[in-house]
Structure 1
Amino acid sequence: MNAPRAAAGGRFNRLVMRLLKIGTVSGLLLVLLAEMSSHMVGEKPPYTSWVSWVQCATSLYAIGVYTWYRPGRKTWIAVAAVVSLAATGIDAVFDQGPRGVGTAELMALGLLLLFAVRHWDAAPGRWVAFALGAAILVIGVRLFVYDGSAVAGTVLIGMGISTVVGFGAYLRSMDKLRRETQEEVRRAERLELAREMHDFVAHHVTGMVVLAQAGQVAATDPLKSFADIEEAGLAALASMRRMVRMLRDDDAAGGVNPLGDLSQIEDLVDRFTREGTDASCFISPELAGAVAPEIAATAHRVVREALTNVRKHARGATRVRVVVAAAGGQGVEVSVRDDGRAARGRLGREALAASGGGLGLVGLRERVETVGGQLRAQPRPEGGWETAAWLPRAVPEVPVGTAGS
């Protein structure tokens, strides 16, 4: 599957979901129209009563809330529940005849109950789900007015409510599990950074010591030696500020892996080759010593994650090509390409790309963006998969006062 086909698949899925919603709303409107005009022999149609028009307006509001509902707008659902209860009360006080209007409203409120349970903790509170359940139950007062229909109708409504609540609770648990897993990824990245921070600092401090020792034995200008030491010290402080900021920021992504560098990328590829896949690696010689340690560590992480994904998701991959090359004067392009197929067709890596990536790519994307880079993971037009990142050669400076020390 090539990139245009993957994009077309994403558009097709969105189109299907939109058509499904349009079909649902159209069906509810047709049901509302039918129940406003249908009646038994010898009865007046509901549209002849003002009470039915109040209930019709309530149904239209419930359908509208379902149509335009977005997460975070649960207040609209609360209003729909209160309005429905009021409409049922009006029906009980001003008896319009044998049967009221409420079938379409009942189905719309059932769909809203799914949202209310899924977004259980959203404002204005959990009571919205209980109010909505009560509105659905008592709506039977309008509908089940014929002999023998009350008990059976109430049982069916109760079963429907149980099904909707169960499915909504399942979706809520899936949402919670995904959030917890993503947070665990971020926490693991921060813990890894905290454990290895002393190695990164030691790298900079060792450079300062070497400069100081060289200044003592070499016949160089002392001012030049001090300037070099100052530059190395400022770089160390900047790295420390960035790492401390990422550790202290609850919403920040994990930092970088200071133990990885460009030279270790070749070791990754060699180990991958020994595991049975033909992999080759090219690292541009001009990048030696020209890339900040944090950028080199991030490049190492990109290659490591990409090779892991090849092993997990690429079926029949026979060749893997890893390239770390200069991109312009101030950038680095890291790419990992393979010729494999998705492990489970459209449910494999193409689906990950359409949905924003798997959990491994979540942490990887955050690392890349933290140092000012960009990440993409997508099918290749000629077949296979590509994971690529553009990185700056130097990490953007952090103002001295932003992180504290």
Structure 2
Amino acid sequence: MTTTPASRALPNRVNRTLMLLLKIAIIGTLLLTLASEVLSSTPGERPPIVSWVSWVQLAVSLFVIGVYVFYRPGRKRWIAAASIASLVTTGFDMLYEQGVRGVGTAELLALGLLMLFSVRHWDASPGRWVAFANGAAVMLIGFRVFAQDFASAAIGGSVMIFMAMMTMIGFGAYLRSLDRLRRETQEEVRQAERLELAREMHDFVAHHVTGMVVLAQAAQVTNTDPKQAFADIEEAGLAALTSMRRMVKMLRNDDGGAGTNPLGDLAQIEDLVERFNREGTDATCFISPELAGSSVAPEIAATAHRIVREALTNVRKHARGATRVRVVVAAASGNGLEVSVRDDGRAARGRLAESGAGMGLLGLGERIEAVGGQLRAQTRPEGGWETAAWLPRAAPEAR
């Protein structure tokens, strides 16, 4: 059905577990590499542990590994600190000849992983220069690692370091492009929802203004108390203003489009289900009789209509083998109503399942929150999927 976070809870938990195990394996590899580097040596060579300079390099390596372990998006200042510390340590090693192989392989690997974050969060504080400092630290650390090797080995090792660094830069740039694409897609969905709300504003306000006109006309031809007539007109006018304010607060740009969409209501939900039923799926609809008439505000009815439309679309796109769909619009506690769409299908796989990525419910959730409601989408214990929302019958006052 849909690919919302709630409906994809199990795959997300599996992914998080795998990523956690991968990070633990990387950290373990870095620490083992650091330990073996400090303690091991070739025949006729002293181990790095005998030099106090190597202890400084060990401390810096542990600091760089710690930055990788505790790094969170946007905390590039720590990457900058790790890169500067590595550069200073490398410069100190070049000036002070200690006569043993330097410590830096684990630090090199950790800096390479931090390079991915430097590029992915390119524009984060303190700036883009962090990536260049990180790259310099990666390349210059070869003076420590290859100081005791032959010139050919040092050149070959430096080339390998450069190629590995370029790979991390490319992967980081790829992840950065994915992040930007997702942000742009979310913004497009929100903008489309705001434009649709702007178009529907005409219908909502027209509904209330028409009621005001009817009240004024009735007062002219009947013996209605003028105070009562003015009170009714005032109430209708305040409702129109409330409806307009509620939608205007969600808009950020002017709508240059023309035309209006038809105003959906509870009665049109039955038409949606009937059309869906004709497409081959056993779909039924129940609307509580006590919700008929004027007990539900127009914008609430339109939101309920939108919920059913979006849920049925998701059933058609994402629910494999769905044979039954049940749509229920019933009275709920707290002077509200609950709209639910349940099916017995299985989650689709492949490109079709990923085509929406939950973007449809992103805009729907924004609309539901605007009228004071709550949305949930989740698996059903007996199988299938459920999209449901609680809505107030009377839309809350917009402030």
Give, as a single letter, the amino acid of the residue that structure 2 aligns with 1:177. Answer: L
Gaps of 5+ in 2: 255-260
SS at structure 2 position matched to 1:227: helix
**For 2:51 and 2:25, how far apart are their aligned partners in 1?**
29
Instruction: Indicate the residue corresponding to 1:232 in structure 2.
Output: 236
**Aligned sequence identity (%):** 72
- Deviation readout 1:220-245 (Å, 9 max, x if unpaired): 32221111111000000111111221
What RMSD over aligned residues (CA atoms) do the two structures have, in Å? 2.4
Give, as a single letter, the amino acid of the residue that structure 1 aligns with 2:77. Answer: T
TM alignment of 1:126-165, pairs within 5 A: 126-145=128-147, 146-147=149-150, 148-165=152-169
Instruction: Indicate the residue corresponding to 1:125 in structure 2.
Output: 127
Instruction: Indicate the residue corresponding to 2:258 in structure 1.
Output: none
Question: Per-residue deviation at 1:329?
Answer: 4.6
SS at structure 1 position matched to 2:122: coil
TM alignment of 1:234-253, pairs within 5 A: 234-248=238-252
Instruction: Indicate the residue corresponding to 1:24 in structure 2.
Output: 26
Question: Per-residue deviation at 1:162?
Answer: 1.0
**For 2:387 and 2:8, how far apart are their aligned partners in 1?**
15
**For 2:262 and 2:396, how far apart are their aligned partners in 1?**
17
**For 1:108 and 1:124, how far apart are their aligned partners in 2?**
20
Determine if contact 1:334/1:390 at 8 Å carries over to the other structure.
yes
TM-score after normalising by structure 1? 0.91
Correspondent of 2:76 among 67, 74, 84? 74
Determine if contact 1:197/1:258 at 8 Å carries over to the other structure.
no
**For 1:216 and 1:181, how far apart are their aligned partners in 2?**
53
After superposing the two structures, state which structure 1 stretch, 285-294 or 10-19, moved more.
10-19
1:110 paired to 2:112: yes
Correspondent of 1:337 among 330, 337, 342? 342
**For 1:29 and 1:325, how far apart are their aligned partners in 2?**
59
TM alignment of 1:5-404, pairs within 5 A: 7=9, 10-145=12-147, 146-147=149-150, 148-248=152-252, 259-288=263-292, 289-344=294-349, 348=353, 358-399=358-399
- Residues 7 and 312 (structure 1 numbering): CA distance in 2 closer, same or farther, change over 3 Å? closer
Gaps of 5+ in 1: 251-256, 400-405
Give, as a single letter, the amino acid of the residue that structure 1 aligns with 2:90. Answer: T
- Deviation readout 1:268-305 (Å, 9 max, x if unpaired): 11111122212111111111211111111111111111
TM-score after normalising by structure 2? 0.92
Determine if contact 1:325/1:332 at 8 Å carries over to the other structure.
yes
**For 1:66 and 1:108, how far apart are their aligned partners in 2?**
7
SS at structure 2 position matched to 1:365: helix
Question: Per-residue deviation at 1:128?
Answer: 0.6
Matched residue pairs, number?
388
**For 2:67 and 2:334, how far apart are their aligned partners in 1?**
53
Determine if contact 1:258/1:294 at 8 Å carries over to the other structure.
no
Give, as a single letter, the amino acid of the residue that structure 2 aligns with 1:231. Answer: E
Give, as a single letter, the amino acid of the residue that structure 2 aligns with 1:235. Answer: A
**For 1:215 and 1:5, how far apart are their aligned partners in 2?**
54
Question: Per-residue deviation at 1:10?
Answer: 4.1
Question: Per-residue deviation at 1:384?
Answer: 1.0
After superposing the two structures, state which structure 1 stretch, 364-373 or 85-94, moved more.
364-373
**For 2:26 and 2:262, how far apart are their aligned partners in 1?**
53
**For 2:123 and 2:117, how far apart are their aligned partners in 1?**
11
Instruction: Return the structure number with greater relative CO, CA threshold 8 A, min gap 6.
Output: 2
SS at structure 2 position matched to 1:247: coil
